[in-house]
Amino acid sequence: MAQVHPINAFNDNYIWAICEPQNHATWVVDPGQSQPVLQFLTEQKRQLTGILVTHHHWDHTDGIAELLLNFPDIPVYGPKDSPFKGITHTLSQGDSVTIAGEQYTIIQTPGHTLDHICYVNDIRAFTGDTLFSGGCGRLFEGTAEQMWSSLSALSELPDACEVYCTHEYTLANLEFAHAVEPDNSELRTYTTWAKQRREQELPTLPSTIGNERAINPFLRTNSRNILRRLPDSLIAPTETQWQVFAKLRLWKDKF
C-alpha cells in the first residue's frame, strides 16, 4: 500500500506526498510551493513522478512550474476547464487515475471553486479545500447548494476512508463546531485529541469520513441540535438540508 506523508508549506498548508514503498516513485497533491517538495524528495531519496491538482488557487499550484523545471516529463493531473493552465491530463466526474499503484476516482466538487475535484477511493480521499476536518471551504465561486451536494458525495465514502485536506484549520473549525453543537460528546473527545496533537506540533490530519460525519457541522445538516442553535437572524420556517448548510456557512463566515 502506498504511504502518504505531509509536507509543510506556507503557514498552514499540507502538500501530500504519495509514495510507492517498493521504489522511489512519488506523487504530490496541490504543491503551492516547490522548495518544500524538493527538500522532501532529496531527504527521502525519492523521485517525483506526477502531480495532482484539486483546483486552481495559487496556494495549490504556484510550485508546479519550478517542479517541472526539475522533472520536465511528469504528468500534471487536474480538473478539466480549470483556470490553471499547467494541467497536462484533464479529469472530470467519474474518471479514474492510478497513483502509486492505487486507483482513484474523480468526484467533481464545485463550491469552493467551480473547477474543484477530489481524488477518492475507499481508503483515501484527497479533498483539497472542499472538506476540512471539522469544516469546509469558503464559497468563492460556487453556490451553497453546489457545495452541499459536493460534501454529501464525500460523506457517502466508507467510514474508515481517510480525509487528506490541504489546510491545518482543524482547531479553528472545531471552535465553530462547538458553538453549533455544544453537547456533542464525540466532538469534545476529538477536540481534546486535536489540541494535544497541535501542542506537539503534529498534524491533526488525516481525519476519517466517519469522524467527520460525527463532528463536522457541515455534514450534519439533518441534526435537530444544529437547527436549534442557528442564530435567530438565520432561521426560516422551513429549510432543506442545503439551505441549512447555507445558513451554517454564513454563520461561520462571520464567526
Q: What residues act catalytically?
A: 55, 57, 59-60, 112, 129, 167
Between CA 251 and CA 136 the distance in angstroms is: 13
Numbers of helices and strands, H then E, in the chain = 9, 14
Beta strand pairing call for 47-52 and 13-19: unpaired
Beta strand pairing call for 96-99 and 117-120: unpaired
Between CA 56 and CA 60 the distance in angstroms is: 7
Non-local (6+) Cβ contacts of 88 within 8 A are 75, 76, 77
Between CA 111 and CA 105 the distance in angstroms is: 19
